[in-house]
Amino acid sequence: MSVEYILGLFILFSTLVWTPGPNNALLASSGARFGFFRSLRHSLGVAIGFPLMMLIIALGLGRLFESFPIVREVLRFAGAAILLWIAWKIATSEPSHDTSNTSKKPWSFAKAFAFQWVNPKAWIMSISVTGQLPELEPFWLPPLIGACIFAVAGQFSAHGWVLFGVGIEKFLSTRLRFRIFNYVMAGLIVMTVFGILFADLSH
Q: How far apart are CA 24 and CA 134, in angstroms?
A: 28
Residue 43 has a pLDDT of 95
Q: How far apart are CA 168 and CA 193, in angstroms?
A: 26
Specify the DSSP class assigned to residue 101. Answer: G
Q: How far apart are CA 69 and CA 27, in angstroms?
A: 31
* pLDDT, averaged across the chain: 79
- Domain edges within the chain: 3-95+106-197
Q: How far apart are CA 160 and CA 84, in angstroms?
A: 24
Q: What is the chain's alpha carbon radius of gyration, rounded to the nearest angstrom?
A: 18
Q: How far apart are CA 95 and CA 92, in angstroms?
A: 10
Residue 101 has a pLDDT of 45
Residue 11 has a pLDDT of 83
| Confidence (pTM) | 0.72
pLDDT confidence of 92, banded at 50, 70, 90?
confident
pLDDT tens digits, one per residue of 155-189: 999 999 999 989 887 777 777 877 887 788 778 77
